[in-house]
Amino acid sequence: MSFNYGLRPTKTQKIASGGSSSAVADVFGTQTEYVRIAADADCHIEFGGNGSSDPTATTSTIFIPADQPEIFKVSPGEKVASIGSANVFVTEMSG
């Protein structure tokens, strides 16, 4: 399945979640408007950290099923955290 959102990928980073503890990605760049989240196993994510403490993902935050990429609107300076035994790939995109 392929989608064309007309967005430009700028950077991809990997969050290696360790199961029961939340792991945090680097801060999103100044041109980032959206992020594409893809995981190789079920996990949970949480956004935040723009001018405050890092976000913390828990089992009650946003659920990301394995192999089902999602696109989210974000702000520059935010971060994403994940929890679960998954490799989470975060691709920053601009319009």
Residue 2: per-residue pLDDT: 59
- Domain range spanning residue 15? 9-94
Decide if 26 is inside a domain.
Answer: yes
Mean predicted lDDT score pLDDT of the chain: 92
Distance CA(32)–CA(65), nearest Å, equals: 24
With 90 as the cut, is the pLDDT of residue 4 above it? no
Decide if 84 is inside a domain.
Answer: yes
Q: Measure the CA angle with vertex 12, ends 33 and 47; round to 5°.
A: 50
Decide if 2 is inside a domain.
Answer: no
Percent of the chain exceeding pLDDT 90 equals 80
Give the pTM: 0.90
The two counts, helices (H) then strands (E), for the chain are 0, 8
Q: Measure the CA angle with vertex 15, ends 20 and 64; round to 5°.
A: 70
Residue 49: per-residue pLDDT: 86
Decide if 1 is inside a domain.
Answer: no
CATH number at residue 29: 2.60.120
With 70 as the cut, is the pLDDT of residue 69 above it? yes
